[in-house]
Structure 1
Amino acid sequence: MEPFTPRPRTGPRKKITLSAKEYTKAIVEITGTIASVRRNRLTTDDIDEEIAVNGHLSRESRAKSQEPSFLAETSFVRAPLNSRVSSVSALPPSAKGKGKQESLDHVSLEIQEALILEDMLYILMGIEGSYITYHPDYSPEDDDPLQGIRFVVSPALDSSLRDLVERILPLGTYYTAISSFVELRSHLDFGLVNHALCASIRDMLKDYQTLLSQLEHAFSTSPQFSLQKLWFYLHPTIHTLSLIYQLVLELGSADDPSADLDSSSSSSSDPDEDARNEALGLGGAKLKAMLSEMDKNGLDVAGGSGIAVKGGEVLAILYERMQNMSGDPTAKTVYGTLLRDAGAPYVAMLRMWIMSGRLVDPYEELLVKESKFINRGILEIDYTDEYWERRYTLRDGSTLSGPSKRRAGVPLPRTVGGRLPGGACVPPLLEGWKHKILLAGKYLNVIRECGIEIRRDSTHSVDENLTMDDEKFYAFIEDAYTHANRTLLELLLRDQQLMPRLASLKRYFFLSQSSFVTHMLDLAQTELRKLAKSASIVKLQSLLDLALNADPQGEDTVFKEDVKVTIATSGLYEWLLDVVNVSGVIGKEHEPETHYEEPKKDKDDKKPMNAIDAFALDYTVKFPLSLVISRKTILRYQLLFRFLFHLKHVEQSLSSMWMEQKTGPWRAVLPHHQELERWRLRVFLLRARMLSFVQQILAFATFEVLEPNWRALEGKLAKVTTVDQLLRDHVDFLDTCLKECMLTSSKLLGAYSRLIVTCSTFAAYSGSFSKSANHAVDASQTPDGDQLMAKRWVILGKFETHFNTWFESYLNRVQFYASSENVSLLPLVVRLNSVKVGI
């Protein structure tokens, strides 16, 4: 006979099977043996009394001693020692035990030990004995079953025996508590990790029950079996079961104490809310009945935070207990065994996720969660790119940039212990690997949704019995992440031609081919002068196709059919100012993504907007390239395009004005009309300064910002090693361009918008200035002379005042930002100083 110790798992268990013939024979023999035992089992006191009087057993006594049925005794399966008890459950509490009790005061010490030994065998299985009974305060209806049943010893027991008995008594409490835990936590709603944990604890209890059967056999056959020997064999087991008992208590108390209050308050909900839940499939009689049934079974599935103790939280508690008691070899062995067994289904779910991209987590135990309402079709209409960023996320809400703020979908921490509940609690062993686990599955999921079969080489074969405490498991995670990342990178860069796609975006949105823009402005001049709501998108699209077809053919022009015309609903500068004033900066990743949506204004506040101010390009791209060239990034391209396109339009208007002012009344020599000469020179000077300003801004944006940053992006993408780095580099490139083009600062943007609007308005007055010049030339030939010269000076003076004021303000702000925040603006300071002449 050996003391009970947990057996380490050395490998998979062999399955023991019987043939049909052997199985039938075994059933017959077992049934006959049980029937024989039951026929011969009598109440001890009645047998002794009848044998003392008659010297034999009567037929009535033998019939009376038989129990009604083996199947009726439901506790026999769980507690085989119950077969020694005669209808315990049928007796009143005062009469439970082995028939009539004999007071221990009148028997010898040897008899006391024999009687108490037999009682101890009952107690060790959680059964009340004759001289060791339930605690007076014990109530099966009110007491928590996870606390276990407490027992008390008869006060008449000799003190020398009492000491040993009280040392062994906790085993009964431990056993009943552990058995209740296994029964309760085996419910479906507690998840696979709890199921595996209960199975592992059940295996340990089987070893304990084997030990008890050996002790019972020794008690029945060996006259030398004593209480001291019982203590000797059970001593190591007490410590083992106490470790499991402490774990059971911690798992049972991990739920918040307010759970019952939450569940009771939720039952009296608003009728309208019940109706909405019913419509959404979240309520109804069936759900309430199920919750009620679960509550009857003692299941606190809500917990204080609405989530039961399951999944990663169970593994975290096990790991913490193992670490805290690492100096105890028995504790390390017990908790290590439980951690490996309980973690097996968790590891299996992780393996499927990082090897195939499929998330199979029916009880929400894994650290990764899926938002099933988000699909890849949302990329076509959504500006927040929810498919990539929010379809698969970590339950604890953390991101690669660090722990996030409190966000929707992340449960509150437990009030007891402070850890996140359920699957949101990442096992400590996986804390450093959680982001690679998330990304590996996301990468493979993208590949799988493209219809590409995910294959693994034979060199990637992995042992099926990996556990969380095995170094090979983390090498497997690293290998799976590397494989998924490399496969998706090859798909994007090689198969989907990402670089040519980005080059085409640069070509069309950054106006790298000026002939395309100039041709488009010439062709669509009439249509772009209309109001935005009156312009024909179909006509503009056909004119754009003509302009693109007239461009020289290149490697990136094969994607020109993906370029589409769109009309914005808001002016560029008003939109940018609204966005910047709300979020502080465009493109900041930690800002709410809703700031990328176009600001909505009341109809009364909207002014009629010309098509030239609302003209923009859109770009269509299919999955999976839409992960990189997403709606959010296309919006950034559109902002830069509208900024450059408006500059190009103003430059062309001012150039046309210069061409017009080279002939006609602008060049007429009128020596007798010196006032007109001065007025024309001032118009020439203002037009030249405006044109110089626009050209300097356009040159700075093109040659000082966009081209260098594009070359830097090409260098980064040539060395990129991860998909996430690829996405981040692309967004960083666009954000840098927006910042250096001064589109993210409200102060710079406010002054610049006033200045560029002044320039465009001045160019729009080109015809009026020409008419004024013609009228002045004609009037100079009349006897009365020119009477409207003063009015012309007033109009010109307003343009000069506005331009000079806002140019001075803009230059001062650019100089300030260049010296304090954004040194990339220093070349622009030099360029603008050349325009300052004449102020």
Structure 2
Amino acid sequence: MDPYNPGTRTGVRKKLGLSTREYTKVAGTIASVRRNRQHSDGTPEDDVDEYGAPRGPSAGVEEPSFIAETSFVRAPLNCRVAHGATYLRNKGKKKGKGEASASLEGVPIEIQEALVLEDLLFVLMGIEGTYITYHPDYSPDDDDPMQGMQFAASPTLDPSLHDLVERILPLATYYTAITSFIELRSHLDFGLVNHALCAAMRDMLKEYQTLLSQLEHAFNTSPQFTLQKLWFYVHPTLHTLSLLYLLTTELANADDPSAALSISGSSSSSDSEEEARNEALGLGGAKLKAVLSEINKGVDSVSSGIPVKGGEVLAILYERMQNMSGDPAARTLYSSLLRAAGKPYVEMIQVWIHTGRLVDPYEELCVKESKFIDRGTLEIDYTDEYWERRYTLRDGSTPGGSSKRHQAGVPLPRTVGGRLPGGACIPPILERWKHKMLLAGKYLNVIRECGIEISRDPSRSDGEISLNNELLYKSIDEAYAHANRNLLQLLLRDQQLIPRLRSLKRFFFLSQSSFLTHLLDLSSMELRKSAKSASLVKLQSLLDLALNTDTQGEDAMFREDLRITMATSGLYEWLLKVVSVSGALSGEEGDALQGHANEETKKEREKEKDDKKQMLAIDALTLDYNVKFPLSLVISRKTILRYQLIFRFLLHLKYVEQLLSSMWIEHKSSPWRHPARPSGTRPQVDSQVRHDEAEEWRKRVFLLRARMLAFVQQILAFATFEVLEPNWRKLEGKLEAGKVETVDQLLRDHVDFLDTCLKECMLTSSRLLKAFSRLIVTCSTFALYSTSFTKSAFQALAAAESGEDNQAMMKRWEFLARFETNFDHWFKVHLDCVQFYASSENVSLLPLVVRLSSIKAVP
């Protein structure tokens, strides 16, 4: 026997649940309804049977295949189908658009309640009834379906029933609006979050439909089912659907924030006073709307093309949940919707932070990828595009700062000061963790680019993770720590970052002076040529020879990565241009200095061609360093550029020191050491005067050379031992002690170290740069005239012995005075600038003030 087949069961069949009294009452009620309907349709009372169905040939229906079932118990709706279609056709002929529904005047209140109950079961599903029809102001073809259908009960309905029906009718509006929202937002363009939200709403509507089916069953089987009972059962659902309706309305209006304003303002725009004013201004209703639409189109053109999806949907849900936290039912409803809608968003986050793969087909996640930027850009990139722009947040914020300035690729907000559209809107619940999410996936991508398989984090917590669950935050923290720890280990241990940085420091900061001294000695002839004439191949060979001779240990491992290059512009000219553009100084002083720098830049541009021709190889010589991925993230092109600036600064100082030292060696030769003796042909007094004058001139040359050499050596010693070495020790101590906890902190510390060195070496202030460049050029030019001064010394010695006239000696004094005056002037300007910045901005320059003051004290 099949327990699920009623035909195979034995025993007495159970009777229906209606007693004879109940059956008679229901049949009588329906018969009264039918008689009242036939009277209104013009059918004679004698032509209907006891159940209200037409008798005779006139009872035929246009559908000959339909056989009317006269039993109300077996088919309670057959009577409605049989002659209800004829009634509706007649009603449609009599009632035009906007006219009232069928009249219930004179019908007993019990019959009205039964008819309205039957209509409500259709209306609550969005189907127009007989006595409950569309609202006169509502048009199904013209009005927005997202606003829901508007129904109105017949005005002839009893007031007590009418009031109760009006309380229930919003259910139909809510249901139809939610259904339209689900149908629209289920398209692919709206993304996975909207799909999940629609699925959760669809499940809630299934419960509503189940309730309607139960109510319909109660209406068909229970004579005690009244309109009051219907209201009792649907009242809790009314609140739930109203919350869903408010949510769908806000999501629908979020696409066009001006829609609500235009709807609210439409009634006022129809006032006669405003219309008269518009006509007086020459703007009719259509013209005014056209102008306003053009304005709104221009303002919202950027964000209007992005539908409400992804993070924006979750943000709206979260805000509604927070705003209605005082209503337990609302908080529970929105919390469940947030959990369901956030499930695909959380899955995308989990894939990103645990594998480094960005699976976001509809651009809903807060992280975006610029696929056109690859690791190949690191070799020619001076702005770290790969690290900073390959993976970014859609809202434009960066881990290094909280700036919200508008950037390229970041959409404009929906309204001024409002939330960003689409995936650029980060849910408030994830605002604190957005940078960790970005960095966790970014770190894993670097590891994957190195060909290393990413292993699963053993500390990763299992369990169901939702958007408003603490497990999600814990998962983000664990994934960030795991990815950061692995990448730091890869850089510091496997890629030997610290030895690389040490070799960079030794090569570029001249910590191995023998290597540079050897290179300058070997390439002295080549460096005196112009930058265009110097042979890079020869200089590279001489560099390799110097490195092979003087490098040992770690430096020998990385010497193959070092190579010679030539800069296209002079160091100080280039720095002055950069400082004038970036504005190192602020306020009025900075503006004036920047204007002066701009004037100097214009003059330099006029002579740019000549300067390039005259620039010597020593002024353009610099080093370059090759590093491979992933070390190129830390030792990037922009950091190598900083190393090169410091190297050129030190190289120029070292070169000028070598020139002045060579001049000092030359001053130990005979014309500078042998005293001039008078010949005796002239009076003794004149000979002695010429002798003393020549001796004084030579002493002044010695003194100027000594002051220049002392100045260069003090600057070189200050830069090397009081700026570069202490700052390097700080960075090295952080790296070796493990105080650098994140890769981004490592990048920032490295760049900060170089920026601090540049600032303390006086390479970021235009005033200090200008004074120092004039001083160093004066020193180098003076050293280049070493042969000329030696020749003058021979001539002065010969003049003192032969007793020649004093005209030649006066020219020697004038020539020397130019160097002395120039050096003294720019030395005083430079010292004043150093004292000013040491007392105001850069305290690290105080030791240099002491060093330079000792040079100033030389008589």
Please indicate the TM-score interval, normalised by the length of the shorter structure.
Answer: 0.7 to 0.9
Equivalent residue, structure 1, for 2:64: 63
* Larger CA deviation: 616-625 vs 666-675: 666-675
CA distance in 1, matches of 2:82, 2:179: 19
Could you list the per-position Cα deviations for residues 639-689 of structure 1 after superposition, in whole angstroms to 9, with x for gaps in the alignment? 100000000000000000111111132223213333222111111110011
Aligned with 1:681 (options 694, 699, 707): 699
Which structure's CA Rg is the greater one?
2
Equivalent residue, structure 2, for 1:605: 608
Could you list the per-position Cα deviations for residues 496-516 of structure 1 after superposition, in whole angstroms to 9, with x for gaps in the alignment? 000000000001000000000
Quick check: 2:563–2:625 contact (8 Å CA) kept in 1? yes
Aligned with 1:614 (options 613, 616, 620): 620
- Report 1:327-338 matches (<5 A): 327-338=326-337
**Change in 2 beyond 3 A, CA 1:683/1:303:** closer
**Change in 2 beyond 3 A, CA 1:116/1:348:** same
TM-superposed CA distance for 1:225, in Å, is 1.3
Describe the SS at the equivalent of 1:512.
coil
2:85 matches 1:103: no
Could you list the per-position Cα deviations for residues 606-627 of structure 1 after superposition, in whole angstroms to 9, with x for gaps in the alignment? 4121110010001110111011
CA distance in 2, matches of 1:88, 1:558: 99
Aligned with 1:646 (options 652, 657, 660): 652
Describe the SS at the equivalent of 1:393.
strand
Aligned with 2:753 (options 723, 727, 733): 733
The amino acid of 1:794's aligned partner reads: E
Equivalent residue, structure 2, for 1:362: 361
TM-superposed CA distance for 1:142, in Å, is 2.9
2:842 matches 1:822: yes
- Report 1:769-784 matches (<5 A): 769-780=789-800, 782=802, 784=804
Describe the SS at the equivalent of 2:64.
helix
The amino acid of 1:808's aligned partner reads: K
Describe the SS at the equivalent of 1:550.
helix
Quick check: 1:308–1:421 contact (8 Å CA) kept in 2? yes
TM-superposed CA distance for 1:552, in Å, is 4.0
TM-superposed CA distance for 1:397, in Å, is 1.6
CA distance in 1, matches of 2:552, 2:583: 41
2:244 matches 1:226: no
Describe the SS at the equivalent of 1:564.
strand
Equivalent residue, structure 2, for 1:131: 131
Equivalent residue, structure 2, for 1:663: 669
Could you list the per-position Cα deviations for residues 295-316 of structure 1 after superposition, in whole angstroms to 9, with x for gaps in the alignment? xxxxxx9784432111111111
Equivalent residue, structure 1, for 2:771: 751
**Change in 2 beyond 3 A, CA 1:736/1:104:** same
The amino acid of 2:846's aligned partner reads: L
Equivalent residue, structure 2, for 1:77: none
The amino acid of 2:55's aligned partner reads: N
TM-superposed CA distance for 1:365, in Å, is 1.1
Quick check: 2:457–2:479 contact (8 Å CA) kept in 1? no
The amino acid of 1:190's aligned partner reads: F
Quick check: 1:50–1:56 contact (8 Å CA) kept in 2? no
2:517 matches 1:518: yes
- Report 1:12-161 matches (<5 A): 51=49, 52=53, 54=55, 63=64, 65=66, 103-161=103-161
Aligned with 2:722 (options 686, 704, 720): 704
**Change in 2 beyond 3 A, CA 1:604/1:101:** closer
TM-score of the pair, normalised by structure 2: 0.81
Equivalent residue, structure 1, for 2:709: 691
CA distance in 2, matches of 1:87, 1:303: 54
Q: What is the CA RMSD across the aligned residues, in angstroms? A: 3.0
TM-superposed CA distance for 1:771, in Å, is 2.1
The answer for unaligned runs of 5 or more in structure 2 is 6-33, 69-79, 262-299, 586-600, 679-690
The amino acid of 1:696's aligned partner reads: Q
**Change in 2 beyond 3 A, CA 1:85/1:320:** farther
Quick check: 2:303–2:412 contact (8 Å CA) kept in 1? no
CA distance in 2, matches of 1:355, 1:87: 66
TM-superposed CA distance for 1:94, in Å, is 5.6
- Report 1:141-540 matches (<5 A): 141-257=141-257, 304-400=303-399, 401-415=401-415, 418-460=418-460, 462-463=462-463, 465-540=464-539
CA distance in 1, matches of 2:746, 2:525: 42
CA distance in 1, matches of 2:411, 2:304: 7
TM-superposed CA distance for 1:351, in Å, is 0.5
Quick check: 1:654–1:763 contact (8 Å CA) kept in 2? yes
Quick check: 1:305–1:413 contact (8 Å CA) kept in 2? no
TM-superposed CA distance for 1:92, in Å, is 9.1
TM-superposed CA distance for 1:86, in Å, is 5.7
TM-superposed CA distance for 1:53, in Å, is 5.0
CA distance in 2, matches of 1:225, 1:621: 84
TM-superposed CA distance for 1:96, in Å, is 9.2
* Larger CA deviation: 364-373 vs 643-652: 364-373
Quick check: 1:357–1:445 contact (8 Å CA) kept in 2? yes
Quick check: 2:126–2:172 contact (8 Å CA) kept in 1? yes
TM-superposed CA distance for 1:555, in Å, is 2.1
Equivalent residue, structure 2, for 1:37: none
**Change in 2 beyond 3 A, CA 1:92/1:315:** farther
Describe the SS at the equivalent of 1:697.
helix
Identity percentage of aligned residues: 70
Quick check: 1:257–1:304 contact (8 Å CA) kept in 2? no
TM-superposed CA distance for 1:691, in Å, is 0.4
**Change in 2 beyond 3 A, CA 1:441/1:457:** closer
Describe the SS at the equivalent of 1:701.
helix
CA distance in 2, matches of 1:443, 1:756: 45
CA distance in 2, matches of 1:723, 1:435: 13
Quick check: 1:96–1:130 contact (8 Å CA) kept in 2? no
Quick check: 2:461–2:475 contact (8 Å CA) kept in 1? no
Quick check: 2:515–2:551 contact (8 Å CA) kept in 1? no
Equivalent residue, structure 1, for 2:597: none
Could you list the per-position Cα deviations for residues 178-215 of structure 1 after superposition, in whole angstroms to 9, with x for gaps in the alignment? 01111111121111111111111111111111111111
TM-superposed CA distance for 1:821, in Å, is 1.6
CA distance in 2, matches of 1:563, 1:84: 98
**Change in 2 beyond 3 A, CA 1:416/1:661:** closer
Equivalent residue, structure 1, for 2:826: 806
**Change in 2 beyond 3 A, CA 1:429/1:60:** closer
CA distance in 1, matches of 2:88, 2:497: 76
TM-superposed CA distance for 1:459, in Å, is 4.4
TM-superposed CA distance for 1:794, in Å, is 1.2
CA distance in 2, matches of 1:118, 1:367: 50
* Larger CA deviation: 406-415 vs 210-219: 406-415
CA distance in 1, matches of 2:618, 2:845: 28
Quick check: 2:567–2:622 contact (8 Å CA) kept in 1? yes
Describe the SS at the equivalent of 1:699.
helix
CA distance in 1, matches of 2:409, 2:91: 53
Equivalent residue, structure 2, for 1:567: 566
TM-superposed CA distance for 1:631, in Å, is 0.6
CA distance in 2, matches of 1:769, 1:91: 125
* Larger CA deviation: 305-314 vs 704-713: 305-314
The answer for unaligned runs of 5 or more in structure 1 is 1-21, 23-42, 68-80, 262-300, 587-598
CA distance in 2, matches of 1:647, 1:549: 24
Equivalent residue, structure 1, for 2:286: none
Equivalent residue, structure 2, for 1:547: 546
Describe the SS at the equivalent of 2:336.
helix
**Change in 2 beyond 3 A, CA 1:746/1:84:** farther
**Change in 2 beyond 3 A, CA 1:449/1:367:** same
Quick check: 1:563–1:617 contact (8 Å CA) kept in 2? yes
CA distance in 1, matches of 2:419, 2:789: 74
CA distance in 2, matches of 1:727, 1:304: 35
* Larger CA deviation: 812-821 vs 232-241: 812-821
Quick check: 2:61–2:82 contact (8 Å CA) kept in 1? no
